[in-house]
Amino acid sequence: MSYPEARYHGEGGEISAAFRPAGTPPEFVSPGGTRTHYLATTASTGGEFGLYRIDMQAKAGGPATHFHRTISETFFILDGTVRLYDGERWVDAEKGDFLYVPTGGLHAFRNDSDEPSSMLLLFAPGAPREEYFEKVSTVAGMTDEERTEFFIKHDTYWTD
């Protein structure tokens, strides 16, 4: 493997970093209380990656087994316990634990514990996941056709 092609062709660098203070409120809070922080979106990274902090309430549950055709997904546990499914088994992941799911890899996650949990989700390359986070709680009210279209649009394919 080698470095990718150069994307910056200037001579002296530029001022372009983006700082986000720790106390910044979440961009989205779900009806169930999950707080999603949009740390780096596909728009802000030019499609390189998307990074989100997910703070889940106790017993928040989570999505069933699924896979993505266009993006990989990476989990890094910041606090609490998150049950992660790696395609073969469920693991009670704790602070500092890490799971990388390549494109096409089966996975799921949930907070079944009596305590809140927090994790980082990294999608690569970047994808506009914000709409998915903001609207996934409304799929129960969609027609079958609308639900199918929503999940295909957001590269989410269920196995159950």
Residues whose CB is less than 8 angstroms from the CB of residue 156 and which lie 6 or more positions away in sequence, other chains included: 63, 66, 68, 132
Q: What is the pTM of this model?
A: 0.93
- The 8-class DSSP code of residue 23 comes to T
Residue 150 confidence (pLDDT): 97
* Whole-angstrom distance, CA of residue 80 vs CA of residue 67: 24
Residues 6+ apart with CB under 8 A from 27: 36, 37, 38, 130
- Give the whole-angstrom CA distance, residue 104 versus residue 68: 5
Cα–Cα nearest to 29, from 17, 37, 39: 37
Determine the Cα angle at 105 with ends 93 and 83, to 5°: 20
What per-residue confidence (pLDDT) applies to 136?
94
Q: What is the domain partition of the chain in residue ranges?
A: 28-158
Q: What is the pLDDT of residue 1?
A: 86
Q: Is the dihedral angle over the CA atoms 6, 7, 12, 14 positive or is it negative?
A: negative
Q: Name which of 54, 57, 61, 63 is nearest 36 in CA terms.
A: 54
Q: What is the pLDDT of residue 140?
A: 92
Residues in the chain with pLDDT < 50?
Answer: none
Pick the CATH number of 28-158 from 3.30.559.10, 2.40.100.10, 2.60.120.10, 3.40.50.1000: 2.60.120.10
